[in-house]
Amino acid sequence: MITDGILKETLAKIKPSAAEAEHLKSTAMEIIGRIDSEAARLGFNVHAIHVGSTARDTWLRGKRDIDIFLMFPPSTPRERLELEGLQLARSISNDYEEKYAEHPYISAVYKSYDIDLVPCFNVPDASKIQSAVDRSPFHNQYVLAHINGLNDEARLLKQFMHGVGVYGSELRTMGFSGYLSELLIVKYGAFLEVVKAGANFYRGLVIDIEGHMDKTVEHPEPLIVIDPVDPKRNVAAALSEQKLYEFIDACRRFQRAPNVDMFFPPTVEPMDEPELLEVINDRGTLLLTITFRAPDIVEDTLYPQLRKAEESVVRMLELHEFKVYRSGVWSNGTRCAIVLEMLVWSLPNIERHLGPPLEQREHAERFGTKYQNAYVFGYRYAVDIPRKHPRADELIRAKLTSCALGKQVSESIRQDFIVLSGPAVLSVGEGIGVFLRELLHRN
């Protein structure tokens, strides 16, 4: 079958070689040995374990990430866990960066691998977690116990999700996590079975592999996949409705016409100025771009703030009778941008200001006294007044800082922001051309 050939071709490209797998495994064991030895030397009651896709043998060729968890007794005070955990983690490499999730951890480089060293509480079961990361060892145990030789099927699903742009639960992407993709393989038994099921996914679908969902907990997310180790948790909580429906569409397209390009799509070429001008002129729209310095925060903090700002700006524009056709947010770590494709960006110099209903005689007469040119418009008074901001870019410059923007994004915008029009957006920074192609849905 054509599909079998496509899957074999794909797997040959994505499955790590025996040598690559052995080198990664031995590196992980070496780090664990060093952590355990250092903990014993310092008298810390800690041991290290290897978790994540590289521990579960569901990782893709070329992946250079290793997750090591430092297991502390549950009775350890949080301050001590952080202090001793970071001390142990720093002992692995001089090339490291301290990062923050629910509590601090170390991201280090060791023998060309990117190592995340995360302190956690070694709780007896997932119902007794003290921090969110405490679940990860249980996730590891569950997948190892239930993957049943379907590791390569999980690899195919992950690569497929990569190829169609829905893989990654970080808040920039809001797609499928690695653990979620592995659970779908456990549930349906094979990549093609996930595709078959995925083509019929719908908003509100509940997948409960263990049949233990806590029904006292409400899950408003578009897809609900109950964590096999925690009946209260939705593994798909980070998945956006957009990415869910993109996955459904991709599954249907693969069923209709299986194609290796869905696993390995061509590199997206950035839009250049001539193409962007052609697109804008053909569509008759206008691009407005708000750009500002990227605040020094991690992506999972930045992107929710950017989306909050985007929604607030769109709401402000439409409240003032401008019309936004589509919008999106972008950052390359140095600059940020809120890009708006405008259907209506210029309005007449007058606007109608509505007064009270005529039934409210006292208020209506006061309005008529204030505005000598007031007239009856339906059941209320109205008056034509000069429009303060007849252009969308003028409104943005005047009112942007009054929008709900998120703490760090607001601080950055208050320091300085620029509103660009049309193809000037291409000057924002490297990577914006690729973003524009995706935003404008240009093949």
Determine what percent of the chain is predicted with pLDDT higher than 90.
94
User: What pLDDT is stored for residue 103 in this prediction?
Assistant: 79
pLDDT at 11 over 80: yes
Map 31-60 to HEC letters: HHHHHHHHHHHHCCCCEEEEECHHHHCCCC
Section 139-155 average pLDDT? 97
CB 336 within 8 A of CB 294: yes
Closest of 320, 275, 319 to residue 433, by C-alpha: 275
Residue 182: helix, strand or coil by DSSP?
Answer: helix
**Count of CA atoms in the C-beta half-sphere (13 A) of 179:** 24
Helices (H), 284-418: 299-319, 361-370, 392-399, 407-415
Query: Which helix (H) or strand (E) covers residue 68, if one does?
Result: strand 65-72
392-399 and 299-319 helices, crossing angle to 10°:
120
pLDDT at 99 over 90: no
Query: What is the largest distance, in Å, between two alpha-carbon atoms of the chain?
Result: 87
Average pLDDT, the chain: 96
User: What pLDDT is stored for residue 45 in this prediction?
Assistant: 94
Section 205-224 average pLDDT? 97
Closest of 391, 437, 421 to residue 288, by C-alpha: 421
User: What pLDDT is stored for residue 31 in this prediction?
Assistant: 97
User: What pLDDT is stored for residue 1 in this prediction?
Assistant: 67
Query: For the stretch 226-260, what's the b/e string if a residue is b when 16 or more beta carbons lie within 10 angstroms of its beta carbon?
Result: bbbbbbebbbbbbbbeebbebbbebbeebeeebee
User: What pLDDT is stored for residue 127 in this prediction?
Assistant: 86
List, in sequence order, every residue forming a beta bridge with 225; answer none if it has no partner. Answer: 207
pLDDT at 80 over 90: yes
User: What pLDDT is stored for residue 383 in this prediction?
Assistant: 96
Residue 346: helix, strand or coil by DSSP?
Answer: strand
pLDDT at 102 over 90: no
pLDDT at 110 over 80: yes
User: What pLDDT is stored for residue 328 in this prediction?
Assistant: 97
User: What pLDDT is stored for residue 395 in this prediction?
Assistant: 98
Both tokens assigned to 106: 């170390």
CB 147 within 8 A of CB 186: yes
Residue 171: helix, strand or coil by DSSP?
Answer: coil
CB 53 within 8 A of CB 59: yes
**Count of CA atoms in the C-beta half-sphere (13 A) of 171:** 13
pTM of the model: 0.92
Output 125 or 191, whichever has higher pLDDT: 191
15-24, 125-134, 241-250, range with the lowest pLDDT:
125-134
Q: Please, what are the domains in the chain? A: 17-132 (3.30.460.10), 147-262 (1.10.1410.30), 273-347+389-439 (3.30.70.590), 350-386 (3.30.70)
Residue whose tokens read 């109205």: 382
Reported as a single tens digit per residue, the pLDDT across 291-319 is: 999 999 989 999 999 999 999 999 999 99
CB 273 within 8 A of CB 436: no
First to last CA, the chain: 29
Reported as a single tens digit per residue, the pLDDT across 381-435 is: 999 999 999 999 999 999 999 999 999 999 999 999 999 999 999 999 999 999 9
